[in-house]
Structure 1
Amino acid sequence: MSALIRSIERLVGGVGVFAAMLLVPLVLATCWEVWARYALGAPTIWAYEVGYILTGAHFLLGLAYTLRAGEHIRIDLFSASMPVRLRAAIDTAAYAVMLALLVWLSWALFEYLVAGYSRGERSGQSALNMVVWPFRLVFLVSFCVLALQVLAELLKAISNLRSRAEA
């Protein structure tokens, strides 16, 4: 089980690094837009759309990495005073429910991706009018990777629950 958890977390780490690297083209595109607009008097037709797509991709692809790092908001007001075994049981139940929801959401996002691709949908947000399926693919990949990290967290919670039961 620990090999599976390590493999999932290695994948999530790679996706997290990729998400962080998306900031480089985002900053470059934003700087170019500011330069072109104010210094050259010639705003681009692509910077707005590229900016919001890269920002969204950065945020979505970073979800699983943030969970792996334990940086999502967690209210410890009640759980800090609970016994460790009870906390592990609550984590196990919560991650099980979350995993089921993420699998369902990932399937719906797959259908959303296929529909957008088959209809040739475009964003309509700027003159660039990009096709939407690549961004919908980012949605799907993000939530699938998040589901994998939730599976890893569920396995860790189950392991923690079992080790507390044996103690």
Structure 2
Amino acid sequence: MSPLVNRIERITTNIGIIAALTLVPLILTTTYEVLARYLFDAPTIWAYEVGYMLTGTHFLLGMAYTLQQGQFIRIDIFSQDMSEKTRAFIDLCAYSVILPLMMWLTYGLTAYLISGFIKNERTGQSAMNMVVWPFRVVFLIAFTLLALQVYAEIIKSLEKYKAAKA
């Protein structure tokens, strides 16, 4: 496998581990909120927003890792009887369509992040009313990493296609 693919997948794996670890503060936040609300009748103003941002961070940062591990939903009923070469070709075509979309989305998210930062935009979801730009940084990182992983999948599919052709 190419050194570039190895590097991308090492980054994807490390970010995937970070994504998994976001569950720890999410569980702690939720537990604290439940205890504060029901035992002490003192709900927090911050738990809701922190909770949904941690949940979003978990899912967003986990996308590239999910792709790398081959865990996105596939319709295997159609491809299970195909040759390795045909499956590699289908993957290559699909990823080649997805990559420009990921690049376009990443570009758009950059403008979205900058806009939120300049306007000091806030969520408006609770009394805490957090600024949104840090969460938009997560969006940008997540989709950039997903675009890189799609690129790595294109290279891997091309290698599989060439190897099956021989």
TM-score for both structures, normalised by structure 1? 0.97
| Unpaired stretches in structure 2, ≥5 consecutive residues | none
Which residue identity lines up with residue 135 of structure 2 in the other structure? F
Matching residue of 2:47:
47
- Counterpart CA distance in 1 for 2:87 and 2:32 is 49
Q: How does 1:15-34 map to 2 (within 5 A)?
A: 15-34=15-34
Matched residue pairs, number? 166
Which residue identity lines up with residue 68 of structure 2 in the other structure? R
Matching residue of 2:113:
113
Percent identity for Structure 1 against Structure 2: 56
CA RMSD of aligned residues (A): 0.9
Q: How does 1:81-120 map to 2 (within 5 A)?
A: 81-120=81-120
TM-score for both structures, normalised by structure 2? 0.97
Moved over 4 A (4+): none
Matching residue of 1:38:
38
2:139 counterpart of 1:163: no
Q: How does 1:121-140 map to 2 (within 5 A)?
A: 121-140=121-140
Matching residue of 2:75:
75
- Counterpart CA distance in 1 for 2:17 and 2:84 is 32
Matching residue of 1:61:
61
Which residue identity lines up with residue 25 of structure 1 in the other structure? P
- Counterpart CA distance in 1 for 2:5 and 2:161 is 16
